[in-house]
A and B are shown apart, each in its own frame.
Chain A
Amino acid sequence: MRASSMSSRLVGTDMGRDAQKSAALDTRSRMFVTLLASVVTIVISSFEGQMILFAASLLYALSIRRYRALFIAYGFMAAMMGIAALFTFGISKVMPSMTFSLTSLAVPFLRGAVMLNVVLPLALTCRVQALLTALKSLHLPFCIYIPGAVMIRFIPTFMHDIRQVSETLKIRGYDLSFGEMFRHPLMMLRLLFTPLLFRSLRTSEELGIAAELKGLEAEGRFVPFASSAWTRRDTLLVFLAAATAVLALYCHFRWGAVPVHGMR
């Protein structure tokens, strides 16, 4: 009885995992969306076109259902935009030739929001292994693949190292507050940066030796740990992203040609 319930629970978990896996999008499709958005958002300088990009990218960001992370990211971005708007207002007061209007700030701010909407799903849903597999499937040259893979693999490790270093400094009585960073910036940099530099050198030495011992070389053949699966959902995402880009470009050239309050 117990065994059967356990096995059904295990099967249930596996099925849930399988369902989750099939529902997840491939990293390459998310990378494509990010890349496309970064190009199109620069090309489009009209409010109409940017609004289409923003609406579509917001739906994409909401689709991952990480509302708290999205809310925090938007809060941070709003604060940054507020500071930028204040600076612009101050400059317009000092230099009257540079007029200040919120509508003219809308397009640069929407560009930032569009990029946030496409980067968050990539950052929050893709695991390091999936990124490495995606990088391998791009068929990059050996001299670009190896450093790229090492870079992706070690970004979380270095984050963890910095956290450990700061905890160690706190234990030793150093104050790592915002005010202290202002009062003694050089000392703070030295305390945080020197261990990171030594850690980088040691890691690169160890990994380099390991890579040589494993026989990694330009002509070598690599077999990825896990294979990536491109599904219909990925094709649909790529198609929708391309359609949105075309629609935004159309709106930009069709209705965005007349300047509004100094925009364009």
Chain B
Amino acid sequence: MTRFLSRWSARELVVIGVFAAASKVATLVVALAGGGLNPISLMGKNLIFTTLLVVMLCKVRRPGTLLLFTVINIIVSMLLLGASVTLLPPMLLGALVAELAMWPGRRDGGVWNPVLGAAVFDVVSKVLSVGVSWLFMRENPAMMVMVVPFVAIGYLGSVGGLFSGVKAVKELRHAGIIHE
């Protein structure tokens, strides 16, 4: 366990922390700018989150990075932002399934393995978060009818984020900021 936890260098851990902060701030700003229940801002914040996730996974190519990123996001959100403990299972499970999906291609240098990881993480965490929404609104099932389309719209943004992530990584490789 200790060996697993000490596999990341300080530089890689800093990258994970910076990207966690950037994703939190960017999604928060887009959500606030769009005024909450706005489909465009909902798509936009998911697009930004997935793009940042793909870039981070290309920058830190080590199995377990997505899981660590998720754990840090959850810890900080729970302790400081009052995010519910119920977010923990869907996010963790999503990250675990994504890590499993990325395991066979862990030695590939291309962009497709991180894209696969981000795609699996988005699908699993979104599906499970609908279950969490039910837990929050179980007193009024009518509100669930409103939640499901919004999660679906958010997922469309995540799909767009996969494409913009690939594009961003290509540009960053061309600029020499991300190496093979």
Interface residues of A, Cβ cutoff 8 Å to B: 31, 34-35, 37-39, 42, 45, 80, 83-84, 87-88, 91-92, 95, 98-100, 104-105, 107-108, 111, 115, 118-119, 122-123, 131, 135, 140-144, 146-155, 157-159, 162, 178, 181-182, 185, 189, 192-193, 196-201, 203-204, 207-209, 211-212, 216-219, 262-264
Say yes or no: is B151 at the interface (Cβ < 8 Å to chain A): no
Q: Max chain A CB contacts within 10 Å: which of B52, B68, B79, B136?
A: B79
11 A-B pairs within 8 Å (CB atoms) are namely: A37-B82, A83-B37, A107-B139, A144-B71, A146-B13, A158-B21, A158-B25, A189-B30, A200-B21, A200-B52, A208-B14
Across the interface, do A143 and B8 meet the contact criterion of CB distance under 8 Å?
yes
Stretch at the interface among B91-99, B101-109, B141-149: B141-149
With a cutoff of 8 Å between Cβ atoms, the chain A residues found around residue B142 in the complex are 88, 91-92, 95, 98-100
Q: A98-B142, A115-B82, A197-B168 are in contact. Are A151 and B20 (CB under 8 A)?
A: yes
With a cutoff of 8 Å between Cβ atoms, the chain A residues found around residue B12 in the complex are 208
When chains A and B are docked, how far (Å) is the Cα of A162 from the Cα of B33? 12
Across the interface, do A35 and B78 meet the contact criterion of CB distance under 8 Å?
yes
Across the interface, do B86 and A207 meet the contact criterion of CB distance under 8 Å?
no
When chains A and B are docked, how far (Å) is the Cα of A264 from the Cα of B137? 10
B interface majority secondary structure: helix
A interface majority secondary structure: helix
Report how many A-B pairs have Cβ atoms within 8 Å: 205
Across the interface, do A181 and B5 meet the contact criterion of CB distance under 8 Å?
no
Partner of B40, one of A158, A182, A263: A182
When chains A and B are docked, how far (Å) is the Cα of A181 from the Cα of B38? 11
Query: How many B residues have CB within 8 A of the partner chain?
Result: 67
